[in-house]
Structure 1
Amino acid sequence: MSKNNLPHWDLTPIYKGVDTPDFISDLEKVVTLSSKLKSDIEAHKSLYDIVTALNEIITIQSTLNSYANAILTTDTSNSSYIKAVGSVEEALLKFQEAEDLFVSKIKDYQNEFSDPRLKDYSYILNEYLVESTHQMSLAEEALAADLARSGVGAFERLYDSVSSSICDNDKTVIQLRNDATNPNREIRKASYEREKRVWKEHENAFAASLNSIKGTVLTLEKRRGWADPLEHSASQARVSVKALNALIKTLENNRDMFAKYFNIKAKLLGIDKLAWYDLFAPVGSLTKKYTFEQAKEIIIKCYSAFDPRMGAFAKKAFDENWIDAEPRKGKVGGAYDTSMLKVKQSRILSNFDGSYDSVSTLAHELGHAYHDSVVMEMPALLSDYPMTVAETASIFAETIVFDAILKDASDEESVTLIESYVGSCAQVCVDILSRFYFERSVFEKRKDGELTPDEFTSLMIQAQENSYGDAVVDKHERMWEAKGHYYSSSFSFYNYPYAFGQLFALGLYAAKDKTENFNDKYREILKLTGSTSANNVALSAGCDIETEEFWQEGMNFISTLIERLGSYCK
């Protein structure tokens, strides 16, 4: 616990440190087991034996990776942690070589797909078959993986290190961004201007990183036979391009609905039009701050009302210090959940500032962790779910907390709660659309060469104008530097899955009171997410995600809230 009573997570149940025998032993084990796996594949050992070995290695390797990155994200300039991440990446290379060999040989194993012991692995094995059609030669794949460590991987770490430590006098850029929820408009504006100034001072480093990452992705996607990064992203997300197009079209069709919300918020704030620094401004009486202990009590109570198993899980996460909540220099911004397969636990990073939004964010991340706890009942190969359905559990959990609090709220409190919730929806639908537009345009422009910082800035403004329209009077032209998701080389378009998860979760939430034994069925849906496509997960819930009508159902839930919010302005 820190001096301001915000917890730091306890990682010792996983490893005691990066220089301890258990951590070092597991690093060596990944290398040894990966070497043996390669030999077994070459010797054409049974597919069941290969899958068993894959499960064992993935369990160890993913835990090493989650642990090393977790400690680094709370102390990004720590040289020992940086070195540990490098060591994990080196071990991962050995596993990737073995997995690449398996992919290259997967067609030789097709006659064993019918093994009854592998029934649950049907989708995963066929996914490997698809991957084999997008594989370079083994030598090229090995070279690409090796170069990534000192190439795009280094640029990703550079982004994390710089973005988490840059300051303007007494405040880090993360702390400046947290001022977006300050009730004082002048403070919000001042911090917004300071934040943009800090980002601009470092624009060359960020532009170099983004150019390198996007350029490398384009080269590799082409060599692997993908039409473009979006096609590969959709495959990774286990969602059809048709479903993705239906989702994007629905987001575009509802821009006017969100413009109405922005105008309502402006009225509630007593201003003519929202500026960017007003987007997260608190409205109404819930400007009070929550202690972390209060957040804990709210989340456990709300989760338990939905499903006692979910409440018990949240209590375990709080009581066993799975959460790192204190904002501090050297710690990355934002929030995330990461699973530790070896010990069947999760860890949650947040930057808790006492606002209702930070309570909601904590509920969101604990929703991810609850999802982890369900899929970790499955073998490692069947517990890795795509980003699309990953956001479903988190947003569902966030909505549980929102809805439970709203039921007991006064009209004055309801204004604040609804506005905050719809504001989050606007981020997931409108801002995510702008990020999708931006990334798509960056990839298109990057084909012709590197972009300058001014070009990145111009594309960001254009993307925001196409999404927000004139409902917000200015734009955050430095957002291409502020959002770390753009700097991922392993998953492009790290944006639309949030909109997918939001609208899918709202569809499930609407069904929860109409469906018998919904809690059990919900857990089954979560368990299924690691072993089949997002389309199939949706179909299991009776949803067709390739139609705009399905996505509009989620939008209708949001529209009802916007109408209710507008009624308080009359």
Structure 2
Amino acid sequence: MEKVLDETWNLDSLYPGGKSSDELNGLIVRLKHDLCVLQDQAAMVDPADIHSLVALFEAVQMFQIESFELDEYMVCLYAVNVDDPGVAHLAEESELIKAGFESLELDIDRIIGQMTDAQWHTLFERDDVKAYQFYLEERKQTIEDKLPVDMEKMISTLSVNGFTGWEDYYEQMMGNLRIPIEQDGETEELSIGQAMSYLFSNDRETRKKTARSIVKVCENQADDFAAVLNRISGFRLDVYRQRGWKLLKEAMKANRIEEETVQTMVSAIKENTGVAQSFYKRKAELMGMEKLSWFDTEMPSFTSENKLLYDEAADIIITQFHNFSKKLGDFAEKAFREGWIEAENRKGKMHGGFCANMPVAKESRIFMTYNGSYQDVVTIAHELGHAYHNHILHDEPAFAQQVSTSVAETASTFAENLVLDAAIDNAETDEEKIGLLEMKITNGLKYQAEVPSLFLFEQKMYEKRKAGPVTADEISKLLGSEMNNLYGDLIDENNPYSWMTVPQLFSTELAFYNVPYTIGYLFSNGIYALAKEQGDAFPEKYDALLRDTGRMTVEELARHHLGKDIKVRAFWETSLQPVIHAVNEYLDLTKQFV
């Protein structure tokens, strides 16, 4: 690319002035007004008046994407202004609107529940409604599972301060964490995101000091974080109890997948834990250690001193995206050129990365901290995959843009594979290839090993929470047990407080927010295999699959677009193979170095 790219995103193109934007504050005022109007309309609409009902659905969808974009924009503002009380105030306003919309959705449920079979049939005779028929049918199916509308509204209202408020507090606590890091004889207090970057230092002593500093800070704060997690999990369990729901019901419904399918997937994963252990054993040998510590597991045994400039990262991603399809490549160029990506390494930023969807503007914004590693390149590709998925869905009705969390990870994993596999194939030396293979393996094991372990841990933590609050020590022991099952005796020092830095565990939007990453990763592997088989014929099919993610269950997507039955173990075993093959190749190539 000809000019140096800006590493900070452009939020002003969405709402000029950020938190002080007249347009932003005007939107908040208007949404509050529109919410009242829609609630009145919903209370008065006659289910037999199909024309008025469809008009209400259209208005609700417009409100949905506007309020969703507001919420996503608040996340973006907070991510780079964690200490700004003004942003926190606006975020609270957005939360109130979000809660109001959830209450409005209950009004829609009430209307749907009142419709006769004849009215329901007449509704779907309209072509404009057929585009979001799946969404309406899905809501109809959930009505009988929930409490009466008035009780569900009460839960929604109380959740602002009694549920989501705790997640907001968790984010503030994370933003306020400061980790003392010693460098060149001086100690500097860094945000958790900046401190985490030191865990990838080539110098093991730096990693060790950083890791122990993180553990010490987390240990001092563990009781507070445990209290927050107890409040979130306790509220969720209370709601489940009132509804008569089993523990995994909400997670399965949210992911549009059957529990039988997930259990089949987890069973296949469990039988392949030996692959991860053989990898970690060889890694320890290559690093000259008897056993690894937790701060070594993601550290490559073959490292490159080369740092990629941000512009170079952009060139790599754009090139590989273009190799798949012109549409995907052009999209990536636009994202870099128009400042959709926040990548600068500086204080005051949240830890981690995300892609925020802006459906009104038909854009996205990507947040991460770029340090110049190839892993950072893959992270940007991952988030751009999310953004491309958003792009495909932006022309669909709002109700048809609502995708399950699991398939939301499919496009991101696909984009990762495009960038990383090309680099592996083009490696010029064994050392370079080993390093890239290790990156693929490490990324894959997050989903094939670590996330499933977190899923099992979270289930056990919730079961224990049913009997009362769970202490920080008990939480750490539960997680430690699962980590021991994963690593065996190959790790001599675990991080007992790693649960504190997994934001998905504190999510109030979705229960068991970790397992969708595994579902999406393995599902994407199946899609990627077909892409390699079919070549130039596949991009249009890929876009069609992404477009249908708001209209089908995961099982239906696999059957319709891939011709696969994912309730059968064979699908998941096949999807595990890319990492298994990468581990085997890694073991073969590294024999010469041990």
Q: TM-score scaled by structure 2?
A: 0.92
- Give the one of 530, 534, 554 matched to 1:534: 554
TM superposition shift of 1:371: 0.8
Mapped to 2, the partners of 1:30 and 1:531 lie a distance apart of 27
Equivalent pair of 2:191/2:349 in contact (CA under 8 Å): no
TM superposition shift of 1:141: 2.3
- Give the one of 192, 216, 227 matched to 2:235: 216
| Matched residue, 1:404 | 422
- Give the one of 165, 190, 203 matched to 1:154: 165
| Matched residue, 2:45 | 43
Mapped to 2, the partners of 1:474 and 1:386 lie a distance apart of 36
| Matched residue, 2:103 | 97
| Residues 1:518 and 2:538 are matched in the alignment | yes
Mapped to 2, the partners of 1:243 and 1:284 lie a distance apart of 37
| Matched residue, 2:185 | none
Equivalent pair of 1:165/1:172 in contact (CA under 8 Å): yes
Mapped to 2, the partners of 1:327 and 1:6 lie a distance apart of 12
Mapped to 1, the partners of 2:490 and 2:109 lie a distance apart of 49
Mapped to 1, the partners of 2:151 and 2:84 lie a distance apart of 33
Equivalent pair of 1:363/1:401 in contact (CA under 8 Å): yes
| Matched residue, 1:30 | 31
* Amino acid of the structure 2 residue aligned with 1:93: A
Question: What SS is found at the alignment partner of 1:393?
Answer: helix
Give matches, 1:145-294, under 5 Å. 145-169=156-180, 170=188, 171-228=190-247, 230-294=248-312
| Matched residue, 1:452 | 471
Mapped to 1, the partners of 2:271 and 2:312 lie a distance apart of 39
TM superposition shift of 1:409: 0.5
TM superposition shift of 1:381: 1.0
Mapped to 2, the partners of 1:357 and 1:165 lie a distance apart of 26
- Give the one of 70, 73, 97 matched to 1:67: 73
Equivalent pair of 2:340/2:366 in contact (CA under 8 Å): yes
Query: Structure 2 unaligned runs (5+)?
Result: 181-187
| Residues 1:81 and 2:92 are matched in the alignment | no
Mapped to 2, the partners of 1:354 and 1:33 lie a distance apart of 45
| Matched residue, 2:582 | 561
Mapped to 1, the partners of 2:515 and 2:123 lie a distance apart of 33
| Matched residue, 1:115 | 125
Q: How many residues align?
A: 566
Equivalent pair of 2:434/2:590 in contact (CA under 8 Å): no
Give me the CA root mean square deviation: 1.7
Give matches, 1:351-500, under 5 Å. 351-410=369-428, 411-500=430-519
Equivalent pair of 2:8/2:343 in contact (CA under 8 Å): yes
Mapped to 1, the partners of 2:6 and 2:478 lie a distance apart of 39
Deviation larger for 432-441 or 335-344: 432-441
Question: What SS is found at the alignment partner of 2:532?
Answer: coil
Deviation larger for 111-120 or 205-214: 111-120
Equivalent pair of 1:465/1:475 in contact (CA under 8 Å): no
Q: Using a 3 Å threshold, how does the CA distance of structure 1 residues 52 and 430 change in structure 2: closer, same or farther?
A: same
Mapped to 2, the partners of 1:551 and 1:244 lie a distance apart of 10
Mapped to 2, the partners of 1:376 and 1:350 lie a distance apart of 23
Question: What SS is found at the alignment partner of 1:22?
Answer: helix
Instruction: Output one character per residue of 1:266-318: Cα deviation in whole Å (capped at 9) or x when no partner.
Output: 22323222221111112324342222111111111111111111111111111
Instruction: Output one character per residue of 1:28-71: Cα deviation in whole Å (capped at 9) or x when no partner.
Output: 33233333333333322523223212211111111111111210
| Matched residue, 2:527 | 508
Mapped to 1, the partners of 2:171 and 2:500 lie a distance apart of 11
TM superposition shift of 1:92: 2.3
Question: What SS is found at the alignment partner of 2:399?
Answer: helix
Mapped to 2, the partners of 1:440 and 1:351 lie a distance apart of 31
| Residues 1:15 and 2:15 are matched in the alignment | yes
Equivalent pair of 1:8/1:324 in contact (CA under 8 Å): yes
Q: Using a 3 Å threshold, how does the CA distance of structure 1 residues 40 and 479 change in structure 2: closer, same or farther?
A: same
Mapped to 2, the partners of 1:264 and 1:510 lie a distance apart of 28
Equivalent pair of 1:267/1:569 in contact (CA under 8 Å): no
Equivalent pair of 2:294/2:494 in contact (CA under 8 Å): yes
| Residues 1:338 and 2:356 are matched in the alignment | yes
Mapped to 2, the partners of 1:356 and 1:431 lie a distance apart of 21
Q: TM-score scaled by structure 1?
A: 0.96
Equivalent pair of 2:268/2:569 in contact (CA under 8 Å): yes
| Matched residue, 2:58 | 52
Q: Using a 3 Å threshold, how does the CA distance of structure 1 residues 475 and 285 change in structure 2: closer, same or farther?
A: closer
Mapped to 2, the partners of 1:222 and 1:467 lie a distance apart of 32
Equivalent pair of 2:6/2:339 in contact (CA under 8 Å): no
| Matched residue, 1:329 | 347
Question: What SS is found at the alignment partner of 1:348?
Answer: strand
| Matched residue, 2:155 | 144
TM superposition shift of 1:331: 1.5
Deviation larger for 467-476 or 205-214: 467-476
* Amino acid of the structure 2 residue aligned with 1:268: L
Question: What SS is found at the alignment partner of 2:491?
Answer: coil
Equivalent pair of 1:113/1:122 in contact (CA under 8 Å): no
Mapped to 1, the partners of 2:5 and 2:249 lie a distance apart of 46
Equivalent pair of 2:320/2:422 in contact (CA under 8 Å): yes
Question: What SS is found at the alignment partner of 2:131?
Answer: helix
Mapped to 2, the partners of 1:534 and 1:30 lie a distance apart of 33
Equivalent pair of 1:199/1:482 in contact (CA under 8 Å): no
* Amino acid of the structure 2 residue aligned with 1:508: I
TM superposition shift of 1:403: 1.1
